[in-house]
Amino acid sequence: MLDRRSLIKAFISSTLAAALLPSVLANANPSAATPRGILKPKRLQAGQTIGLIAPSSNTWEDQEIYFAMDIIRSFGFKVKSAEHLFTRTAYLAGSDQDRASDVNAMFGDNSVDAIFCLRGGYGSPRILPYLDYELIRNNPKVFLGYSDVTALLNAIYARSQIMTFHGPIAKQSFTDYTLAQFKKVLFDPKSHSVLAAPPPFEIVEGQAELENRLTTVNKGKASGVLIGGNLSLMVKLVGSPYEPDFTDKILFLEDVEEAPYRIDGMLTHLKIAGRLDKIAGLVFGKCTDCEVGSGPSFSVEHVLNDRLGDLGVPVLSGVMIGHIEDMATVPIGAMATLDATNQKLTLDEPAVI
């Protein structure tokens, strides 16, 4: 039986809880967080305001920035330029602190609904120490880009626990394929949708698909959270405070203008660092312009088979992820299933709310 003091304490506790509950509910969105505690940003729709930033390199000419703004407006969005969007410092789009402040400002700006990166290039790892990860966590928004932006996508996922998106930069035209994949993930999301499958090829007499063939390196099926992006950037994150946990993840990789021996070296680095021992599966997209130079060399295909063939997990290569015109939008932090036997990558949950 409760004594008088216990009854008073219970009454006070229940009264406080009742008083606090409305404010807690007002600031909570149960559908925004996954059971893993990863926050999902709101979906894109016409009329929203997109913050445009240059967190790595800048374009050579201002007209390319205005072109990117027109691409964004073509979706029915409004554009808000970052304070330092037009700044250029050699191969960087301004100082590290200025580029980081643009990222922080866009996440903290309530008038901005999503953030698109102008381009990649070089420099995003340099700004990681200057980002306000708590601010970002408290203001989840679609954050979109690829290539050098890979460092930001994975660091923000790892440190702020929000989903980010490996997909088109603002300074590019969208092919029909890129547009369809972009909208499928960010505008009208559905569970169990296939990601990054090659576009259909019309079979006619005397012709066959060559450019977008899928290759099963290791058979099998596995589910896990997606992480990854550009291979060279994922290697740069290893051992840093901004590296995502590779345990039980579906790792996706791609690269551009890297000789096969450099792809070999980077995969070897991930391997001897123990990262590839942890993953549930691996998807390799495109290695664009990864040409064999003069002298003896393995092909990229040989390197992938040699470096990934003994992992003991499903491995599929050739999906539409990378520095290509027809590119998929891939949510980092979302659950997916890789069926390397049947050559399919499936998104298991909507990545936006």
Q: What is the pLDDT of residue 292?
A: 87
Q: What is the pLDDT of residue 29?
A: 54
- Total domains present in the chain: 2
243 belongs to the catalytic site: no
Is residue 44 assigned to a domain?
no
b/e sequence 129-153, b meaning 16+ C-beta within 10 Å: eebbbeebeebbbbbbbbbbbbbbb
Residues 326 and 267 in one domain: yes
Residues 197 and 168 in one domain: no
> Which uninterrupted H or E stretch holds 193?
strand 193-195
Residues 197 and 339 in one domain: yes
Residues 110 and 227 in one domain: no
> Which uninterrupted H or E stretch holds 64?
helix 62-73
Domain range enclosing 161: 49-173
Three-state secondary structure call for residue 90: coil
Is residue 16 assigned to a domain?
no
Residues 231 and 133 in one domain: no
192 belongs to the catalytic site: no
* Set 84, 243, 317, 323: catalytic member: 323
Residues 140 and 216 in one domain: no
Residues 94 and 222 in one domain: no
Residues 247 and 136 in one domain: no
Q: What is the pLDDT of residue 27?
A: 43
Encode pLDDT of 114-149 as tens digits.
999 999 999 999 999 999 999 999 999 999 999 999
* Set 56, 57, 160, 254: catalytic member: 254
CATH number at residue 148: 3.40.50.10740
Residues 224 and 300 in one domain: yes
84 belongs to the catalytic site: no
Is residue 12 assigned to a domain?
no
Q: What is the CA radius of gyration of the chain?
A: 22
| pLDDT digits (tens), the chain, 353 positions | 444 444 444 443 444 334 433 333 334 454 478 999 999 999 999 999 999 999 999 999 999 999 999 999 999 999 999 999 999 999 999 999 999 999 999 999 999 999 999 999 999 999 999 999 999 999 999 999 999 999 999 999 999 999 999 999 999 999 999 999 999 999 999 889 999 999 999 989 999 999 999 999 999 999 999 999 999 999 999 999 999 999 999 999 999 999 999 999 999 999 999 999 999 999 999 999 998 887 899 999 999 999 999 999 999 999 999 999 999 999 999 999 999 999 999 999 999 99
* Set 56, 124, 147, 232: catalytic member: 147
CATH number at residue 230: 3.50.30.60
- CB burial of residue 12 (10 Å; 0-12, 13-18, 19+): exposed
Q: Strand 330-332's sheet: what is its strand order?
A: 78-81, 49-53, 114-117, 142-145, 164-166, 330-332
Residues 71 and 155 in one domain: yes
Q: Residue 49 and residue 47: Cα distance in Å, rounded?
A: 7
Is residue 257 assigned to a domain?
yes
Is residue 184 assigned to a domain?
no
Q: What is the pLDDT of residue 85?
A: 98
Encode pLDDT of 277-329 as tens digits.
999 999 999 999 998 887 899 999 999 999 999 999 999 999 999 999 999 99
Residues 156 and 250 in one domain: no
Residues 198 and 340 in one domain: yes
Is residue 163 assigned to a domain?
yes
Is residue 188 assigned to a domain?
no
Is-above-0.95 flag for pTM?
Answer: no
Q: Residue 27 and residue 185: Cα distance in Å, rounded?
A: 25
Is residue 36 assigned to a domain?
no
Q: What is the pLDDT of residue 103?
A: 99
